[in-house]
Amino acid sequence: MRRKLHGIAAEVMARLDVLAALTVEPGGARQLVRAAERARAKTLVGGWMRDAGMVVRSDPAGNLIGRYEGERDGAPALLLGSRLETSVDSGRFDGPLGALAGIAVVQLLAREEQRLPVALEVAAFADEAGVRFAADPVGTLVAGREPPAARAVPSGAIPFPRLAQPAARPTFPKLLAYVELRAEQGPVLDTEGVPLGVGTAVAGQARLGITLEGHAGHAGAVPMELRRDALAAAAEMVLLVERRCSEEGLVGTVGRLAVEPEAPDAIPGTCRFHIDVRAADDASRDLALDDIREGLAEIARRRRLACWVEEQRRVPAVRCDAALSRRLGDALAEEGLGVRELASGAGRDAMAIASLCPAGMLLVRCHGAARRPGEWVTVDDCETALRALERFVRDFRAEDEAPAAHPWSAYRGLARVPARAG
């Protein structure tokens, strides 16, 4: 029997709207960028947690955590959640859906005054997307890791060093598993007509920064055969990336490109761009990177340009916990849904949490999927996601998880968490 969760799905959607209204950019939900909006968003979400029956705390890294106690006090916790804010240029569905869905599941349990064998915690993580602190998952601070190397500061963001370091170690109780519900942010589920997918991995990412130095010139005065046009060389390189990454399981993108001098009647002398390559399999990504580097060098040589390649990032793929993913699939099946497995190409908080405990993902179909404000999740799909998540939570048992060889020690003794790139 399928219970109707339409009302609570509509409430989740309304709450996304409320958070989006705090944005400093129309259409987005970058409320964490400014302290005032950030505080307001956390006050709202904390209030919703309390209304749902949770005890709310926050940690020095800025994460907000609500706890719904289990059948016995102090029980190990199943953690649901996501970050609160969205990336630059992303929309309201980019971040907070997981946290709000977690709150909604607690509401459903509390309504029936039902306690589970485990505690349920819901986290609204701070700044996974690096909107505020110009660093990747600052949520990783909860894991006691070193902050990642600072990267280019997005406009309006606070440089990393100004982040107050946690005064005390975070105070998570024992964690059994983490499940992150997120909009897919890609067109795969939409194209296949599937409302929900089970995440298998967060793709690893590599980013190269390319600088081409050719020879600027007057667009009218330099014969074609005497040119060293940096943009024409870059154009070949863009197509090389596209071609090489069209292999199964890879994606490759040039998303930022700038020329100098930038004038309609000047041959570009300099061109700078970034290459982003991702795959759920690190080895095939690294092979592609090697081929791309070789191709770049060949193009630059043939066109007599200088070419600098700077590896700015190489983050390994993080696999979701297989047992946990299986149980997420079981929950979908029990709710009469097909089980589509897919890797997330977008970075997720799960990347950080996976070093603490088994991590899994539920990905929700996204329409108009694009890294921009226009993408959306329907209220029907939100309802379906809540149904699956609630089923999973109700069926979750701590003992199923305990035998897994996970680094609990890493969680208890934070200093022992293995270092991992950005």
Contact region with a copy of itself (CB under 8 A), list: 45-53, 230-238, 349-357, 400-408: 230-238
User: Which spans in 25-176 are helix H?
Assistant: 35-51, 97-111
135 binds a copy of itself (CB under 8 A): no
Task: Look up residue 200 and give its two tokens.
Answer: 């298998």
Kindly state whether residue 198 participates in binding a copy of itself, applying the rule CB under 8 A: no
Q: Angle, to 10 degrees, between the axis of helix 35-51 and the axis of helix 6-21?
A: 160
- Is 191 a binding residue for a copy of itself by CB under 8 A? The answer is yes
The answer to whether 372 contacts a copy of itself (rule: CB under 8 A) is yes
CA distance 253 to 245: 9
Contacts of 412 (CB under 8 A, 6+ apart): none
By beta-carbon proximity to a copy of itself, the closer residue of 63 and 344 is 344
**Which residues, including other chains, have CB under 8 Å from residue 85's CB and lie 6 or more apart?**
29, 30, 31, 32, 33, 38, 41, 95, 96, 127, 129, 131, 132
Q: Is 206 exposed, middle or buried (0-12, 13-18, 19+ CB in 10 A)?
A: buried
Q: How many beta carbons lie within 10 A of that of residue 171, not counting itself? A: 11
E strands in 84-146: 119-125
Write down the residue that tokens 């929900």 correspond to: 196
Task: Please report, as residue ranges, which positions from 10 to 49 form the binding site for a copy of itself (by CB under 8 A).
Answer: none
- Binding to a copy of itself by CB under 8 A, coded x per residue (else -) over 271-310, reads ---x-x-x--------------------------------
Interface with a copy of itself, residue 54, by CB under 8 A: no
Query: Considering the rule CB under 8 A, would residue 217 count as an interface residue with a copy of itself?
Result: yes
Is residue 385 involved in binding a copy of itself (CB under 8 A)? Answer: no
Q: Under the criterion CB under 8 A, does residue 181 sit at the interface with a copy of itself?
A: no
159/419 Cα distance (integer angstroms):
22
Q: What is the DSSP letter of 208?
A: E
Q: Interacting stretch for a copy of itself, rule CB under 8 A, among 118-126, 166-174, 217-225, 410-418?
A: 217-225
Closest distance between a copy of itself and the C-beta of residue 27, in Å?
Answer: 12
Return the residue of 24, 257, 339, 404 that touches a copy of itself, per CB under 8 A. 257
In the complex with a copy of itself, the residue whose CB is nearer, 107 or 185, is 185
Using the minimum distance from each CB to a copy of itself, give the nearer residue, 70 or 139: 139
Q: How far apart are CA 344 and CA 325, in angstroms?
A: 13
Q: Does 225 bind a copy of itself (CB under 8 A)?
A: yes
**Does the protein bind a copy of itself through residue 171 (CB under 8 A)?**
no
C-beta closer to a copy of itself: residue 257 or 410: 257
Among 67-75, 165-173, 353-361, 368-376, the segment contacting a copy of itself (CB under 8 A): 368-376
Residue found by looking up tokens 């709000």 in the block? 100
- Residue 370 engages a copy of itself in binding (rule: CB under 8 A): yes
Please spell the DSSP secondary structure of 257-298, one letter per residue. Answer: EEEES--TTEE-SEEEEEEEEEESSHHHHHHHHHHHHHHHHH
According to CB under 8 A, which one of 120, 194, 234, 288 is a site residue for a copy of itself? 234
Which residues from 314-353 bind a copy of itself, rule CB under 8 A?
Answer: 344-347
Interaction of residue 220 with a copy of itself, rule CB under 8 A: yes
- φ and ψ at 62, to 5 degrees? 100, 0
Q: Distance of CA 134 to CAs 27, 38, 116, 158, 220, Å?
A: 21, 16, 38, 7, 42
Which CB, 101 or 183, lies closer to a copy of itself?
A: 183
Q: Which of 246, 310, 334, 416 binds a copy of itself (CB under 8 A)?
A: 246
359 φ/ψ angles, rounded to the nearest 5 degrees = -125, 140
Compute the least distance from the CB of residue 35 to a copy of itself, in Å.
24
Of 29, 109, 203, 289, the one binding a copy of itself by CB under 8 A: 203
> Interface with a copy of itself includes 186 (CB under 8 A)?
yes
Name the nearest CA neighbour of 103 among 121, 130, 128.
121
Q: Any bridge partners for residue 58, and if so which?
A: 64
Asked if residue 262 binds a copy of itself (CB under 8 A), the reply is: yes
DSSP character at residue 225: G
With binding defined as CB under 8 A, does residue 268 bind a copy of itself?
A: yes
Looking at the Cβ atoms of 47 and 261, the one nearer to a copy of itself is 261
Using CB under 8 A as the criterion, which residues of the chain lie in contact with a copy of itself when the complex forms? 88-89, 184-188, 191, 203, 205, 207, 215-226, 229, 231-232, 234-236, 238-239, 242, 245-246, 250-257, 259, 261-269, 274, 276, 278, 344-347, 369-372
